[in-house]
Amino acid sequence: MRIQKNKALLATLLIVLAGAGLWYALKPAPTKLAPPTAIPVRVIAVSAKDVPRYTSGIGSVLSLHSVVVRPQIDGILTKILVKEGQLVKAGDLLATIDDRSIRASLDQARAQLGESQAQLQVALVNLKRYKLLTVDDGISKQTYDQQQALVNQLKATAQGNQASIDAAQVQLSYTQIRSPVTGRVGIRTVDEGNFLRMTDTAGLFTVTQIDPIAVEFSLPQQMLPTLQGLINDPQRAPVKAYIGADTDGETGNLLGEGHLTLIDNQINANTGTIRAKAEFDNASQKLWPGLLVTVKIQTALDKDALVVPPTVVQRGLDQHFVYRVNGDKVEAVQVQMVYQGSGQDIIKGVKAGDVLVTDGQSRLKPGSTVQVMSEPPQVVQAEPKP
């Protein structure tokens, strides 16, 4: 009986061992963990450079001197000596008015002066003679006094005649219309042969100074302390003017470079802005009166600044950070945002030469394996694009 139980136990044990061997032989081989996939990224190499800071606004181009040329006397316009659009200098003869009647009045005044001067000479000679005669009582004192009065009267007459001559000469000068400023002649409103009056408001044409020229613009009132510092700085604050650019100066053509010359004496309470003016050399004449432009004012210069594109800096819950490449891994580095400009940010927390990720951050986390794209690392530019 015991032998049968032992046989049964042995058979059971053999069955268990056989099943275990079969399971071990048939179980799948353990899978090996695949190495992590490298994430493709684009990078830049940080460099330290001097970077100017700018503020931007919209302004309009203004002439420093624009004059409506009007007649100062009534008369017929006899000659126009300049063409529309012509450049003229201050003092150049622009047009003439008929001067015949004024010349006649001038000749008459000169003749009257000659007559009064001749009469005065005779009266003076008689006055001297009468003075000698009064010593010996040759004539009465009354006669002498009358002669003295005549001399005084003739002197006054001569002075009046001279004043008439001076007035006629002034009137004659008005028949020659000269340019009061150096500039460009505008479109004329009258032709030769028209009768001009001093009361005509339109004038003949305008002469507008083009070089130098000014731009007037408005900035938020918060910029007042900065503008005051710039206007008081002996180093004149540089200003650039663009056309076709947005307020960040990202696009557009540079029309000229000038300097800040004036800030207004009051803030516009309705708009919360303050007006300012900059002056530009305009030899190329790209700036034209009335043109709307975007102005960029350099407000500061950061020495040895670390500049990166905005795509480099990531925003965490309460801080900014960047991904720095170290070998084939990345690490998150907390940075301080110093300045956000147009297309470029100035940061602290990294150093020149660091390679930072500029594209592909959405798939990254600290310690991720990365594969830098084939093109070489970009070096960030010192100044934002205008």
Beta-carbon-side half-sphere exposure of residue 33 (alpha carbons within 13 Å): 2
Domain interval for residue 298: 54-64+209-303
Read off the CATH number of the domain in which 241 is found.
Answer: 2.40.30.170
341 closest CA partner among 318, 369, 310: 310
pTM over 0.95: no
* Inside any domain, residue 293: yes
Q: For the chain, what is the domain count?
A: 4
- Reply yes or no on whether the pLDDT at 176 is more than 90: yes
What's the pLDDT at 4? 58
Does residue 46 sit within a domain? yes
Tell whether 367 and 327 lie within a shared domain: yes
Mean pLDDT over 71-80 rounds to 93
> Cα(228)–Cα(221) distance, rounded to whole angstroms?
11
Do residue 322 and residue 261 come from a single domain? no
Whether 342 and 368 share a structural domain: yes
For 364-368, what is the mean pLDDT? 85
Q: Has residue 153 been placed in a domain? A: yes
Whether 21 is covered by a domain: the verdict is: no
Q: Which helix (H) or strand (E) holds 195?
A: strand 195-196
Q: What is the pLDDT averaged over residues 127-136?
A: 78
The answer on 293 and 188 residing in a single domain is: no
Residues with Cβ within 8 Å of residue 138, at least 6 apart in sequence:
132
Regarding whether 138 and 244 lie in a shared domain, the answer is no
Strands of 93-97's sheet in order across: 176-178, 93-97, 75-80, 195-196
Q: Is residue 1 part of a domain?
A: no
DSSP 337-348: EEEE-SS-EEEE
Task: Write down the pLDDT at residue 384.
Answer: 46
pLDDT at 20 over 80: no
Instruction: Verify that 87 and 195 share a domain, yes or no.
Output: yes
pLDDT-derived band at 209, boundaries 50, 70, 90: very high
| Token output for 44 | 């830049």
Residues 333 and 298 in one domain: no
Q: For the chain, what percent of residues have pLDDT higher than 70? A: 85
